[in-house]
Amino acid sequence: MTKYLIITEKPSARRNFEKALGGATGHVAHYDYELTNLRGHVMTLREPEDQVPADLKTKYKSWKLADLPWDLQDLSWKRTYIRSWNPHSKKSESTKSLIDDLKTKTKNVDGLIIATDTDPSGEGDLLAWEAIDAIKWQGQVFRANFADESPKSLVKALNQLTAIESKDRHGAYQKGLTRNKWDFASMQLTRAATTLTKKQGYSLVSRQGRLKSAMLLKIYQQLQAIKNYQKVPYFEYRFRDDQGNVYARVVDPKQEVVPFRYPSHEALQAAESFAKSGQVQQDSVTKKSTKPPKLLDLSSLSAILAKEGYQVKEVLATYQKLYEAQIVSYPRTEDKTITPEQFQDMLPLVDQIAQVVGADVSLLTHRNPRKTHVKEEGAHGANRPGPKVPASLEALQSYGPSVKRIYQTLAKNFLAMFAEGYHYQQIKGSIVEYPDFKTTLNNPLSLGWKAVYQDQNQDQDVEESKPKALGKTADLFVHEGQNPKPTTPTWQWLKTFLEKNEIGTGATRTSTYGELSSGKNTYMIDQKGKISLTDSGLAAAILVQDTYIANPKTTKRVFDIFDQVGRFEMTADEALHSLNVTVAHDLPIMAENVKQLENAIEKPTSYEPKEKVSGERHGEEVTFNASFSGHRFTADEVAQLLAGEVITFQAMSKKGKSYTAKGQLAKKRYKGKDFIGFDLILDKKKTRKMKK
């Protein structure tokens, strides 16, 4: 009997496969199987200097601008094991043991089944092939594509395997690999930006990247627009009727100059004249309706919760836990709709979900698929509740702080498509004597889906239940307005910008935003969805003005390029050429932009740029501080140090005492980074006396 090893992405996925198949080993379709799991990425690209010939190591290790840009043909793209700190064992652990275990398990199987997440980015396929290449597997490989980790989806996927002839013809893998290489090599811009920033006297790491740079620059530009905003008042005539309704002339948003708006009250009175009052007339009464809003993606969901104070990174982590428990659907989807099959799977759960989130089941009468929400095309389907319905919102508390609001918001958005449309009566009126002055009233007739879900992403609220009516007469008044003030940047605002420019997916936008707004070196501060930049974020944004890396059109084009590689319409080398063009274009621009930092960010008062000296040591170009403990090295001493010799000189301690320093150059480490510096050789006898 044929036996296959099923490789899942992580332990939680393996457990879901075990539940679906009835055990870690067994039989499915026409083959026996054994389950195993990775832990996300188990291999990573080596450092640049470890991917090139010996004579190029210095260049590819360097952060000097003179050593950029790279020739990507120099890189071997070799990978190595990942080392990380295990908080449970309190040890630094390598993924080598996991790879060794995987290799052992493949000795008695006829083929491997990639059962990692079916990511639109190709990430799941990439991390699987990293492991497969690491064990040097030469046999058959299959792909199991599943929409979610429900038993039905997993069993279906394992019954409909796709044979992979070679990884060279595996589109999803090629897409993921090219994206991985592109992002890796874009560290050149991070090195350049950081080096330039430090030369200006700022000790900031300026990370740059496709989505990251575009987001930071957009925020910076908006904050600058707010800072430079100058109020320009205008005056115009309007009417107000005896019911409080205001009648105004229609303004074309594309119109730069509005002819009936004037810079002062006096200019208005001199230019226009109207009667003090007029009669109101009803122009039309129309019944209208709106359909339920589109299903949410992760960025829309996180933007809603950000307004309530929930951090994006926490929402993402909590959602992932819910997905692994099959309580919500797959997070990293690009789909905006669900398939007919997914609709039918969820239909029996509608009433149960409604009871959990407190939605009125009697409102959910539209039980047929809507063309706006249910379509044949799609894979994972839009974000929605999962096949496992919790007993209550309280039962979810252990998943994270935002869990109740995640499920409640996601569920009500999903349930809205089972409610009827929102129906309202629209009344239009005008002033009889001056018909250009118009007003519009909307009176709800039937709330429909709005009684189930408030579309917070569109800032639409249910209109007041009290019906509005036109008055009989209206009085003239002077309305004072002003040019619109730039919107305060929020996650909702930024998400809309990214969607409009088709930059990233809901999941990549959310994860990047979470990365930028959390951790030790944050680039932005999120306060209930409102965004401000830290000094690091400000510096990173200033440096990428007018660059390709931060240009929305370039960013979208790069995403399109990755898709083309996945469809074999472009080679990886052709795709990576776009990075070469980007780096070559952006380096000189960054070098000019960095001059703006002094006007934007205050330098640390304690900062004193240290003079450096360079030279060849053991056949390698090195740079180190030109002085130590108050002593500046002479030219002869520099030569001796580079030759590996020990030197002695008079130095000054921090307490102002003179002492004899003895030492040589050595490799040292500070804050996780290696560097070459003067290493003091301590007198052991004196050290022992001091200890006594």
335, 284: one domain: no
328, 277: one domain: no
Gap between the Cα atoms of 587 and 192, Å rounded: 7
Neighbour order of strands in the sheet with 422-431: 246-247, 233-241, 473-482, 277-290, 422-431, 438-446
The residue with greater pLDDT, 621 or 452, is 452
Choice among 87-91, 390-394, 608-612, 659-663 with the minimum mean pLDDT? 87-91
321, 430: one domain: no
The residue assigned the tokens 């039937």 is: 446
406, 439: one domain: no
Residue 90's pLDDT is 67
Residue 691's pLDDT is 37
The pLDDT tens digits of the residues spanning 473-492 come to 999 999 999 999 999 999 99
31, 92: one domain: yes
| 111 within some domain | yes
The vertex-250 CA angle with 245 and 255, nearest 5°, equals 145
User: Tokens for 679?
Assistant: 């290493």
The pLDDT tens digits of the residues spanning 314-362 come to 999 999 999 999 999 989 888 889 999 899 999 999 999 999 999 999 9
The one-letter code for the residue type at 100 is D
Per-residue pLDDT at 510 exceeds 50: yes
239, 326: one domain: no
| 213 within some domain | yes
The pLDDT tens digits of the residues spanning 539-574 come to 999 999 999 999 999 888 999 999 999 999 999 999
| 71 within some domain | yes
Contact 409, 305 (CB under 8 A): yes
Residue 520's pLDDT is 79
Instruction: State the average pLDDT for the chain.
Output: 92
Contact 649, 637 (CB under 8 A): yes
Strand pairing category for 111-115 and 631-632: unpaired
Gap between the Cα atoms of 182 and 557, Å rounded: 13
CATH number, domain at 458? 2.70.20
Residue 269's pLDDT is 95
According to DSSP, residue 385 is labeled B
CATH number, domain at 347? 1.10.290.10
Gap between the Cα atoms of 182 and 179, Å rounded: 5
| Residue whose C-alpha is closest to residue 301's, from 405, 452, 374, 211 | 405
Domain that includes residue 342, residue range: 298-418
Residues 6+ apart with CB under 8 A from 18: 24, 35
158, 62: one domain: yes
Gap between the Cα atoms of 632 and 428, Å rounded: 83
13, 145: one domain: yes
DSSP states of 536-585: HHHHHHHHTTT-STT-HHHHHHHHHHHHHHHTTSS-HHHHHHHHHHHHHH
- Of the pLDDT bands very low, low, confident and very high (cuts 50, 70, 90), residue 688 is very low
Last residue of a domain, one of 556, 572, 600: 600
| 605 within some domain | no
| Residue whose C-alpha is closest to residue 137's, from 275, 7, 320 | 7
Last residue of a domain, one of 458, 482, 506: 482
| 516 within some domain | yes
336, 457: one domain: no
The SS3 of residue 107 is: coil
HEC readout, 287-315:
EEEECCCCCCCHHHHHHHHHCCCCCHHHH
The pLDDT tens digits of the residues spanning 214-246 come to 999 999 999 999 999 999 999 999 999 999 999
Q: What is the torsional sign of CA 143, 146, 149, 155?
A: negative
Per-residue pLDDT at 618 exceeds 60: yes
Residue 122's pLDDT is 93
- Of the pLDDT bands very low, low, confident and very high (cuts 50, 70, 90), residue 653 is confident
219, 239: one domain: no
Gap between the Cα atoms of 145 and 153, Å rounded: 9
- Averaged over 445-469, what is the pLDDT? 75
CATH number, domain at 553? 1.10.460.10
567, 627: one domain: no
Residue 686's pLDDT is 45
The pLDDT tens digits of the residues spanning 19-41 come to 999 999 999 999 999 999 999 99
CATH number, domain at 34? 3.40.50.140
User: Tokens for 279?
Assistant: 């009669």
Within 13 Å, how many C-alpha atoms sit on residue 426's CB side?
A: 10
- Averaged over 634-639, what is the pLDDT? 93
- Averaged over 688-692, what is the pLDDT? 37
Gap between the Cα atoms of 122 and 41, Å rounded: 13
User: Tokens for 463?
Assistant: 């209109």
Per-residue pLDDT at 463 exceeds 70: no
Domain count, the chain: 5
- φ/ψ of 245, rounded to 5, equals -80, 140
The pLDDT tens digits of the residues spanning 524-534 come to 999 888 999 99
Buried b (16+ CB within 10 A) or exposed e, 664-680: ebeeeeeeeeeebbbee
Gap between the Cα atoms of 359 and 352, Å rounded: 10
Q: Say how many C-beta atoms besides its own lie within 10 A of residue 28's C-beta.
A: 18
| Residue whose C-alpha is closest to residue 305's, from 293, 319, 287, 291 | 319
Gap between the Cα atoms of 502 and 334, Å rounded: 11
| 607 within some domain | no
| 32 within some domain | yes
Last residue of a domain, one of 176, 204, 219: 176
Q: Say how many C-beta atoms besides its own lie within 10 A of residue 639's C-beta.
A: 13
Gap between the Cα atoms of 334 and 507, Å rounded: 8
568, 655: one domain: no
Gap between the Cα atoms of 417 and 369, Å rounded: 8
Residue 84's pLDDT is 80
- Of the pLDDT bands very low, low, confident and very high (cuts 50, 70, 90), residue 687 is very low
